[in-house]
């Protein structure tokens, strides 16, 4: 079978890497892909939001399965379009992907179907928003309603920071149309975790637990990013928390979406805040997390292709996923300045040395080729991902890979996975 993966980041490199291991697959294309992906798949120069060209390519090449990586094409309706032409495609339809495309929709859905989440209100004007902030107090969380590449969340420690965030979003300066409406919610304390599950709109098959590191600096300091690293499993997701999440979050959400006439089919990602035995839902994503996808797929023992096909065809009843008992850790290596203005075009050294390391893969996210040399071209450049018998061993192996790779101004967190130590 021929497979098309849509996207160009580290998540898509991990998906291509995993899909390539399936005996069911004869050829993989990736649109638009990146130079790392180009070593195992054929990159096609089509942007993720160019739906007509993606459709034309898939039809011309008789693609047996299309897998959508990023949120943008999902929110534009790529799944609806492909299905209209009888093509098999993995991902949420447009009216279901709104669970990520609109934070206000997601919060209202959670409220209606009793999915535990933070107290909140939605605003389009500055003055009522500021009155709500004064009523709730700080710290407080301000979120752009629409898609903002994982960066539209501001944790305001002071009233001044909250006023700045609200004003910049609602005047359209900070995130454009994505910030024309804001969700303001209470600040939750605890430890975050990522909970992903495959669903056909009715049945739910959970993935292993994972934890992301959003802030750019060690100790969860600095602005939020698209993710600076992740590990799996996340010990904070105990068997009791797992069961509670499946019952109170995933089950209620999948059933709620079906009741709303928006059946959810694809991978559903819930960002959780865990405080003791209590959980609250921070957000939903309509796709694999990035960088959570990287350690999760490294730990996945099962062939992913039958699962993706079963989801796309609408029936995953009876399916189970086997996992390696090992832990996996992904450390994101970023460009200087990220998540703000960052450098581009710096030559990357050491990739060959890292590639020789056992149980380690380097997933490309923001790279380009200059002649025969890899150079930086994005904010998040690489995701160095390693497995080990324990989280500690996986952390050490991942950072050995990181230490082999360098470029001018490289930045990465040095505490990825630290929260898991001592909890295994």
CA distances for 359 relative to 388, 393, 413, angstroms: 8, 11, 21
Supply the pTM of this predicted model: 0.94
Contact yes or no for 420/234 (Cβ under 8 A): yes
Domain limits, CATH 3.30.1490.20, in the chain:
125-180
Helix, strand, coil shares, percent, the chain, to 5 = 35, 30, 40
**What 8-state DSSP symbol labels residue 331?**
E
Domain limits, CATH 3.90.600.10, in the chain:
327-420
Strand-pairing partners, residue 196, are: 269
CA distance 362 to 290: 14
pLDDT of residue 278: 94
| Structure tokens, 151 | 């960066």
pLDDT for residue 147 is more than 60:
yes
Residues 173-185 pLDDT 10s: 667 776 678 999 9
What values do phi and psi take at 279, rounded to 5? -130, 145
CA distance 339 to 334: 9
- Greatest alpha-carbon span in the chain: 59
pLDDT of residue 224: 85
CA distance 330 to 43: 24
| Structure tokens, 3 | 């497979």
pLDDT of residue 149: 63
CA distance 185 to 375: 40
pLDDT of residue 178: 64
pLDDT of residue 151: 64
CA distance 277 to 236: 10
Residues 353-404 pLDDT 10s: 999 999 999 999 999 999 999 999 999 999 999 999 999 999 999 999 999 9
* Dihedral sign computed on CA atoms, order 47, 50, 53, 58: positive
Domain limits, CATH 3.40.50.20, in the chain:
2-94
CA distance 15 to 7: 10
Q: Which residues of 374-389 are buried (b: 16+ CB within 10 A; e: fewer)?
A: bbbbbbbbbbbbbbbe
The verdict on domain 125-180 having CATH code 3.30.1490.20 is yes
Mean predicted confidence (pLDDT) in 99-124: 94
Give the position of tokens 């943008």: 72
Give the position of tokens 């609602």: 170
Mean predicted confidence (pLDDT) in 29-43: 98
Residues 177-232 pLDDT 10s: 766 789 999 999 999 999 999 999 999 999 999 999 999 999 999 988 999 999 99
Residues 57-73 pLDDT 10s: 999 999 999 999 999 99
What values do phi and psi take at 254, rounded to 5? -60, -45
CA distance 293 to 297: 6
CATH class, range 2-94: alpha beta
pLDDT for residue 423 is more than 90:
no
CA distances for 37 relative to 357, 362, 372, 402, angstroms: 19, 11, 15, 19
CA distances for 2 relative to 7, 25, 61, 363, angstroms: 16, 6, 8, 22
Q: Please give the CATH architecture assigned to the domain spanning 327-420.
A: Alpha-Beta Complex (3.90)
The residue ranges of DSSP E strands in 39-83, in sequence order, are 42-43, 65-68
* Dihedral sign computed on CA atoms, order 94, 97, 103, 107: positive
CATH H superfamily, domain 191-313: ATP-grasp fold, B domain (3.30.470.20)
**SS3 label, residue 300:** strand
Domain limits, CATH 3.30.470.20, in the chain:
191-313
Residues 5, 11, 16, 19, Cα dihedral to 10°:
-100
């Amino acid at each position: 079978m021929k497979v098309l993966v849509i996207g160009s980041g580290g998540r898509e490199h991990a998906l291509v890497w995993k899909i390539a291991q399936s005996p069911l697959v004869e050829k993989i294309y990736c649109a638009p892909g990146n130079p790392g992906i180009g070593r195992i798949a054929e990159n096609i120069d089509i942007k993720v939001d160019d739906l007509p060209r993606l459709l034309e390519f898939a039809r011309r090449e008789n693609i047996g399965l299309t897998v959508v990586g990023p949120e943008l094409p999902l929110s534009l309706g790529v799944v609806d379009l492909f299905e209209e032409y009888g093509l098999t495609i993995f991902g949420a339809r447009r009216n279901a992907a709104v669970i990520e495309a609109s934070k206000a929709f997601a919060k209202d859905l959670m409220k209606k179907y009793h999915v535990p989440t933070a107290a909140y209100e939605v605003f389009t004007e500055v003055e009522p928003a500021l009155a709500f902030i004064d009523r709730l107090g700080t710290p407080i969380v301000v979120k752009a309603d629409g898609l903002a590449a994982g960066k539209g969340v501001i944790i305001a420690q002071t009233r001044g920071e909250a006023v700045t965030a609200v004003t910049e979003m609602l005047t359209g300066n900070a995130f454009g149309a994505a910030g024309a409406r804001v969700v303001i919610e209470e600040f939750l304390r605890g430890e975050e975790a990522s909970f992903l599950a495959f669903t056909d709109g009715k049945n739910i098959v959970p993935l292993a637990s994972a934890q992301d590191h959003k802030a750019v600096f060690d100790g969860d300091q600095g602005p939020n990013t698209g993710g600076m690293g992740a590990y799996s499993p996340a010990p904070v997701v105990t068997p009791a928390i797992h069961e509670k999440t499946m019952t109170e979050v995933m089950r209620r959400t999948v059933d709620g979406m079906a009741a709303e006439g928006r059946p959810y089919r694809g991978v559903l990602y819930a960002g959780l805040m865990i405080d003791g035995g209590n959980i609250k839902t921070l957000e939903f994503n309509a796709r694999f997390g990035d960088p959570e996808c990287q350690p999760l797929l490294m730990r996945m023992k099962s062939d992913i292709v039958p699962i993706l096909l079963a989801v796309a065809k609408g029936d995953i009843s009876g399916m189970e996923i086997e996992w390696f008992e090992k832990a996996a850790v992904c450390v994101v290596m970023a460009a200087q300045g990220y998540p703000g203005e960052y450098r581009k075009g710096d030559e990357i050294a050491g990739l060959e040395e890292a590639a020789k390391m056992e149980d380690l893969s380097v997933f490309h996210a923001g790279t380009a080729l200059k002649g025969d040399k890899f150079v930086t071209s994005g904010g998040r450049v690489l995701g160095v991902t390693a497995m080990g018998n324990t989280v500690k061993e996986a952390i050490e192996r991942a950072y050995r890979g990181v230490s082999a790779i360098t470029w001018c101004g490289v930045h990465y967190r040095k505490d990825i996975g630290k929260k898991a130590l001592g909890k295994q």
